[in-house]
Amino acid sequence: MRTAPTILHLDMDAFYASAEQAAKPSLRGKAVIVGGLGPRGVVATCSYEARVFGVHSAMPMAQARRLAPNAAYLVPRFGLYREVSEQVMALLRDLSPLVEPLSLDEAFVDLEAGQTAWDAESARLTGVKLRGDIRAVTGLTGSVGLAASKMLAKIASEQAKPDGLVLIEPGTERELLAPMSVRTLPGVGPATGDHLRRAGITTVGEIAEAGEDELVRLLGKAHGVALYAMALAHDVRPVVAERDTKSVSVEDTYDVDIHDRVRVRMEVQRLADRCVGRLRGAHLSGRTIVLKVRRYDFSTLTRSETLRGPTDDPAVVREAAARLLESVDTTGGVRLLGVGVSGLADYTQEDLFAQARTAAAAASAEELEHVEHEETEEAVEEPVPPAERRWHAGHDVRHAEFGHGWVQGSGLGRVTVRFETPGSLPGRVRTFRSDDPLLEVAEPLPLVEGRPGDVGSPAAGGEG
């Protein structure tokens, strides 16, 4: 372990909820809960105001509603979160070539590798400047931990929350760790924590006192040795700049089980297109197409097909996903569908896939004709109605007369919109018919106006 606190851990504060509060003036200082809003939804993130009521991430949304019935409940806007994350990661890369993202809102940085810190004081100044830059660029806050190892830097950022900075001086680590719960250490979850508690070990200091042999006896060699080392503040893991993406996937959970086979096929095609969008956004292609189906009884099936070479062709992915679906029985109903691509590469082989599609079409022409005939008859007997416009709570909209706003709620053929922008005062609320031709889905506005490179500009709005 190094002798200076030059490993930085950044954790954005209540990231999704904070981004929503920054975008919506009327929600600042209020309880905001972001996640799936259906009966099977869970909390992705909640604001600190919501945590006062006992709400936390991964909690079933139904329980969150009981604890905080007056909170604002919003559907995630991952496009916005990714854009803000890219701004933050760019600031981190300015500090060092060694940046290890853990998620959209969390990363390690090796400041020594970037020659931006070499001792405690330079590390602290770098952390202070980073927090100011993040606020200036995104309007959000992040908590920073600085230490001589990744484990300690992460512990420090947890202590710094919200909107703070904590530096752990080398030589003070064991004293700091000793009174902390065993659950503080990486890899100690509820099961391991309970196992240690039954052995009379509840703090990190007691792990160190128990000794390596006792921990190996309790937890096995690999886990016991690693846990003992961490209790002594030994962590030599380096900051790894690139983490290889293993796969790209998307999935949807449905509030009501889908029984109609035609609807299931349509959903799979839609998911395939979304998956390809993410694939292309990452400048990747892939060889293996994966279909995931969770049925009415919670049984989960996966099917995969490996192609002759990597592709990012939406038609190829759609066709492969459709073939995989044919091998799955969905008659009892479907509650979740997912499409993924693995075996990733940074190039494509479109010529091979054109040949593959031709060959597959020739080999199964009779079978496909039979399937298409059945689908045509089904469509004639039971026409699929045009998709109803869906307005997701929290998502951006634009009205031809009133400008930019966000969906506050919808149902019974109506949609309620609050017209405000990140830089405005809290706006007024208006209700429209859900099929109002003057109302349309809009792209999120920048959280901080006037940043160089921002696309578009906020519309005038935010009355009242």
Cα–Cα separations (whole angstroms), residue 248 to 14, 268, 302, 334: 25, 15, 15, 22
- Collapse the DSSP code of 329 into the 3-class scheme (helix H, G, I; strand E, B; otherwise coil) and give the result: coil
CB–CB of 308/356 below 8 Å?
A: yes
Q: Which residues are registered as beta bridge partners of 143?
A: 11
From 106, 112, 173, 420, the catalytic residue: 106
The residues near 374 (Cβ < 8 Å, ≥ 6 apart) are none
φ, ψ of residue 249 to 5 degrees: the values are -150, 160
Q: By the 8 A CB rule, do 73 and 61 touch?
A: yes
CA dihedral 64, 47, 85, 253 (to 10 degrees): 10
* Cα dist from 345 to 244, 245, 311, whole Å: 11, 10, 9
Helix or strand run (H / E) with residue 110 = strand 106-110
CA torsion sign for 160, 164, 165, 166 is negative
Helix axis angle, 261-281 to 365-381, nearest 10°: 120
Residue 106 catalytic? yes
Strand, helix or coil at 266? helix
107/150 Cα distance (integer angstroms): 10
Q: Which of 13, 241, 18, 10 is nearest to 127 (CA)?
A: 10
Rounded-to-integer distance, Cα 164 and Cα 141, Å: 9
Q: What is the residue whose two structure tokens read 């079933």?
A: 60
Catalytic residue annotation:
106
